[in-house]
Amino acid sequence: MKQYIKPHPWKIIEEGLLPEYNKVSESIFSLGNGKIGQRGNFEEYYSGETLRGNYISGIYYPDKTRVGWWKNGYPEYFAKVLNAPDWTGIKITVNNQKLDLHTCKITEFKRVLNMEKGYFRKRYTAEFPDGKKIKVKSKRFLSIVNDELGVIKFSIKPVNFDGTIEVLADIDADILNSDANYDEKFWIEIEKSTAVKPYVISETKKTFYRVCTAADIKAKYENSEIELSNLEKIEHEKYVGFKFSLPVKKGKTTTIFKFAAVTSSLYYEKNILAKEAYDILEYAEDKGYETLLKEQEDAWHQKWEESDIEIEGDVSAQQGIRFNIFQLNQTYTGQDERLNIGPKGFTGEKYGGSTYWDTEAYLLPFYLSTAEQKVSKQLLKYRYNHLEKAIENAEKLGFKNGAALYPMVTMNGEECHNEWEITFEEIHRNGAIAYAVKDYVRYTGDTEYLAKYGLEVLIGISRFWAQRVNFSEDKHQFVMLGVTGPNEYENNVNNNWYTNLQAVKTLQYTKESIDFIKEKYPENFKTLAEKTKFEEKEINHWKEISENMYFPYDEKRKIFIQQDGFLDKELKSASELSHLERPIHQNWSWDRILRSCYIKQADVLQGIYFFEEDYELDTIRRNFDFYEPFTVHESSLSSCVHSILASKIGNEKHAYDFYLNAARLDLDDYNNDTEDGLHITSMGGTWMTIVKGFAGMRIKNDKLNFSPFIPKKWKSYSFKIGFRKAWLKFEIFRNEMKIANESDFDAEIILFDKIQKIRKKEIIKIQSTVGNA
């Protein structure tokens, strides 16, 4: 664990340049706007260890699968969001000495991610080998007002000399993905120019996406603009740059402004990419830096108005949750139903930037509650649009009659994960996607979505489950063999409790939905039945399965058994492991892990979290107390579920500790892997630990339900929830609650099992003994 980030409620601050942590910091200081993103790399030369990264959502490459033993059904490629052309370069040279932050003497270094206003800035003093010193300040942001625009302000002040500096402002499209299976470069050059404003048009191999990256350079000396003359125009393969000299004087500031436009064939015809990029640069020039920055700050202010969580009395917790919310808001905006959210967002290349079941399980609730309804709906439409591919995926594995198996990893709906225990066995992802349909409809009341899109998805998934189970003559029940549950430290197990549960719940909800749509949307159902060739006898079979599914259960302990044979393991608490063995996936053989009792992330507890309303409190407590000690929490998705359930059973210490682990997972690099990128998809879970955990939010009978408590370290906390037409702000104190209805619609909630009405624009105070858990 690393704790070099300074505590602050609104800022992420690193003081002192720490080369050994630079790749971690590059992840932490990442920027994005939903369409483009980049790691927190330096604009200057840096010869130290670094992972330069710029990413464009939706632009990917099908990297040929690399496995030792090919099996039927394997995907032919692993889709990867590509490291895209780098436009950030502002390289400085003084007297033939490069400003290299790794080789120059750097003092007074500070970099800051201003989450409140949406920009990244840094400052430092650099001393060159000949003794010359300069002070540097830079500020960079990716506009969320115009999501194809990036902006840099870069200022230089000589400390002890007059002279000239040489500036190289470049665009580098000769990029390599660090995770390329065969060290292949994925971009080819189509066109480049330095005639007016420099640009490079690149095209991806195989997928043929085109991207134009263009830039414009301005400069000022103190407050006066400098005309850039005698530009040296540099061109070589997949690279363009402008080199120029600027006069500088001791104590006086020279500032360079770099505006960049990134346009792609996802949104424009290929033959007009350069024109569109130039139009964006002209827009930026007309606005000017200060106006663009002000618009950025105003736009982020609005985002925080909708999604902020404020904590009083615990700066570490406050910084953590805002960091998570900031990253969620800059990763996905819901503007394009073709886009989704990769586990690393715009912050790194691990997991290929592809979509996993994380979206439905951990991210959807955040967007449901903090953004307009169309944002969460886009996430569900993404899966609907991939239904035909999901059916094809199932067919490749031998399933028939419209059965749908959604991919574990995807960009375009095709499965592209290349590990057999994931591709073939971790089929519980289907259940998360079905659950998301229910979650969305229950939260929004949007039954029209169910009629037009959701039910068709549910039927496809239910057909898969019906074919995936088999009837055991020995048990006289249906069983599911050869699966991997959420705990990926177990493979090829039989009757994973969670997977069996998801199958049953999907079948039941599909039947309920069919009955509802038949009654409320009969024409839609008729059309759907014809399209899917649905037969009523399918429902009877689904009912038979759901009523006769086998679930492993321990009568002695009165707990659900994770899978057949789990209790045969040597049951030793994870607390008995030496810290030198942690994380076990980095220190143990896979054979040893598979034979152990150690659980990577919530498995049985994941099912209890999803379907908590089905279980009594004592049942939840028994299962939590049994499984948590064996859980090593080596998945970023683990802590949030444990925190929420700990809140439910009144275990405040566990609830708070797991919250802090989730909130500061990347800031403190708990798992020693932040350098690969941030854990974006788990950040939705962090939000849930407060709203669903500490505040106890649930949806019951079409109403918001709350049963809040306050962790001992906090004086108060507050958050906003958008629910259907209402917009409510909750402020929770030790002995009082305030609820403000900021909308024009009356609202009715359930608070501690009692109905509470809040009229439009009304603020109510409720005396309560919220206290601790």
The residues annotated as belonging to the active site are 488
CA dihedral 198→204→205→207, nearest 10 degrees, is -150
Structure tokens at 261: 């436009």
State yes or no: cis peptide before 583, omega within 30 of 0: yes
Given a contact cutoff of 8 angstroms between Cβ atoms, the answer to whether 32 and 348 are in contact is no
- Nearest Cα to 219, choosing from 255, 253, 168? 255
- Residue pair 316/724 in contact (Cβ under 8 Å)? The answer is no
**DSSP 3-state of 284:** helix
Measuring CA to CA, which residue among 693, 686, 680 is closest to residue 317?
686
Residues contacting 53, CB < 8 A, separation 6+ = 26, 38, 39, 41, 83, 346, 347, 348, 349
Give 611's contacts (C-beta < 8 A, 6+ positions apart): 501, 505
β partners of residue 410: 355
Q: Are strands 716-723 and 703-706 parallel, antiparallel or unpaired?
A: unpaired
19-49 burial: b if 16+ Cβ within 10 Å, else e: eebbbbbbbbbbbbbbbbbbbbbbbbbbeee
Contact 699, 442 (CB under 8 A): yes
One-letter amino acid of 15: E
Q: Residue length, the chain? A: 773
Strand residues in 650-697 grouped as ranges (E): none
Q: Residue 166: which of 282, 104, 247, 255 has the closest Cα?
A: 247
- For 364-464, strand residue ranges (E) read none
Instruction: Please state, as a whole number, how many other Cβ atoms lie within 10 Å of the Cβ of residue 721.
Output: 20
103-114 burial string, b = 16+ CB within 10 Å, else e? bbebeebebbbb
Q: Which 3 state secondary structure label does DSSP give 155?
A: strand
**Bridge-based pairing state of the strands 703-706 and 747-751:** parallel
User: Which residue in this structure is represented by tokens 């704790």?
Assistant: 3
Distance (Å, whole) CA 529 – CA 450: 14
